[in-house]
Each structure stands twice: as C-alpha cells, then as structure tokens.
A and B are shown apart, each in its own frame.
Chain A
Amino acid sequence: MILPFDLILVLFVYICAIAAITIKDLLSAVVILGAYSFFMCLLWTQMAAIDVAFTEASVSAGIGTVLMIGAVSKTKRRSND
C-alpha cells in the first residue's frame, strides 16, 4: 500500500461521488457512477484485495451500470435536482 497513491485515488472517488449526486442529467450521473465503481476497484487492488476488485469491476461497474442505463431509458432522463 502506497500512501500518496491511496490519497489520490480517494480524492478521485470523492469527486466522482459528489459529481454523481449533483449533476442534473440522469444518464451522465449513471456513467459517472460507473467511473466511481472503477476507481473503487483500483482502490481495492492497491489495498491487496484483488478478488473484491475484480468482482466489483464485473458485477457492480458492469451489470450495475447496464441495469441503471436500462432503467433510465425506460423512464425520464431529466431530473429536477
């Protein structure tokens, strides 16, 4: 575990989380949430949890993003907040 690398990754994770909940376009929010999941995955790889990292990359960043894009395409894309 390398401390500066850890801090930079956590900074990116925070930026992605805040952007995903403040942006008004729901499709953009979902794609930013996918980027958040991939940064989480990098964070776990450098914390020596590779099994959790590839499960996160395939299940949460892959299937989760696909499910959310499907739900947004079935409903409205604009959000008021």
Chain B
Amino acid sequence: MFEFIVSYYNYWMYIGLMMIGFYAMMAKRNLVKKIIGMNIFQSAIIFFYISTSVKKGATVPILENAHGHATHGIEHGANAINVMQYANPLPHVLMLTAIVVMVATLGVALAVVILIYRRYGTLEEDEIMKLVRRG
C-alpha cells in the first residue's frame, strides 16, 4: 500500500492542486477569485498529463545527430532510435493546445466579469444574486 502511494506520487500532487482550484471555484464568492481557481484547476490537469510523459533517465525529445549521419525514419541495428532515451512528446503537443485554450477561456471570463461589474457595480456573488432577485 505504501509502495503504491509512493510510486504514484505525481497523482497525489495533481489531485491536491486540483482540489485547491475546485475549492476556490465552489466556495469563494468573489468572481475574480473563481477565475483564479479555474486557472489553478486547468493547470493541475495539464500537470497530470505532462507527468505521464516522464521516463527515468530520459532527456528532452530532440533527436541527437539529426542533421549529420542520421537516422531517418525507422531503421534497425546500430542506427535505430533508442526510444527510452527521450521523454514521450505526444502529451506535450496535446497540452500546448490546452494552454492556449486556457488563456482564451480566461479572456472570455474576464470580459464577462467586466460586463457584470458595469451592470451591477459589484463582484461579490451574493450581492449580485440579491440585486437580481430584487429585479
């Protein structure tokens, strides 16, 4: 059991970070605080995906000698690419898209927050709900 917890320690880190963001989204009343919680939540998910690509003893995924007497495509024998030498680049590419989407979501959310502030004059959720109920 202890070995299970230690060997999957990146899972526990990302779950803790995700719960901090989730708490901010659910329990905080200020709208900017909710957006900060959403940002933390999204980067926790990106953290989990990137941590699945790590290998022990691996370096950055750039081919060595790619412009010299190099290995092009699939080869066998001494010229073959040693996959265990490089980190897995597929989660990196997926998460690049996720980071850009994260900033787009942030921009739209902040625009909506500015419109809400112009309409109601406050950013606290309970005060906004009181004003909405009054009509």
Contact = CB atoms under 8 A, between A and B. Distances in A.
Q: Do A and B come from one complex?
A: yes
Interface of A: 1, 10, 13-14, 17-18, 20-21, 26, 29-30, 33, 36-37, 40, 43-44, 47-52, 55-56, 59-60, 63-64, 67-68, 70-72, 74-76, 79-81
Most chain B beta-carbon contacts within 10 A, residue among A49, A67, A70, A80: A49
The contact size tier of chain B is 35 or more
Nearest to A43: B47
* Majority secondary structure, A binding face: helix
Given A75-B113, A75-B123, A80-B30, A21 B37 contact: yes
A30 B28 CA distance: 15
B32 A21 contact: no
Interface string B85-108: 001000111011001101100110
6 contacts: A49-B50, A49-B53, A49-B91, A52-B96, A80-B124, A81-B29
Contacts of A70: 110
A21 B60 CA distance: 33
B43 A60 contact: yes
Given A30-B36, A40-B43, A55-B96, A80 B50 contact: no
Given A60-B43, A72-B32, A48 B17 contact: no
B11 interface: no
B36 A29 contact: yes
B107 to A, nearest CB: 6
Interface of B: 13, 16-17, 20-21, 23-24, 28-30, 32-33, 35-37, 39-40, 43, 46-47, 50-51, 53-54, 56, 58-61, 87, 91-93, 95-96, 99-100, 102-103, 106-107, 110, 113-114, 117, 122-124
